[in-house]
Amino acid sequence: MLHAKWYEDARGRLYYDDLLSFADSYANNQGVGTWTSYRSKQVKRCNWGRHRIPNSGDLDQGAGEFSPTDKYLPYGWQQYRQAWTGQDLAAQRRERAAWWK
């Protein structure tokens, strides 16, 4: 399932809907699905989203924005927290890097 919001202006141009991105409840470009390994054929749940991750359970402790709970920091969330909660510029550069290349 994919959820994406957009709006159209009077001239028919489409825009990504970020009009309420400052609001606590804002979320856009959210997806819920599965990921299947090419090698082992193992299937895992895969959820993503802008500002909030759907069905994330206790991963998200944030009140006004996404913030991972302490128990998930050892699983790759420490740098994310440093970058966006701690405003660490070096961590932000690492988060934005094209890790898949």
- Which tens digit of pLDDT belongs to each residue from 54-68? 999 999 998 877 889
Dist. CA 100–CA 93, nearest whole Å: 15
Q: Give the C-alpha separation, 27 to 50, whole Å.
A: 6
Q: What is the distance of C-alpha 74 from the center of its chain?
A: 18
Percentages (nearest 5) of helix, strand, coil residues in the chain: 25, 25, 50
Q: How far is CA 35 from the centre of its chain?
A: 16
The tens digit of pLDDT for each residue in 61-90 reads: 988 778 899 999 999 899 999 998 888 999
Average pLDDT over residues 28-47: 94
Domain boundaries, the chain: 1-55, 57-101
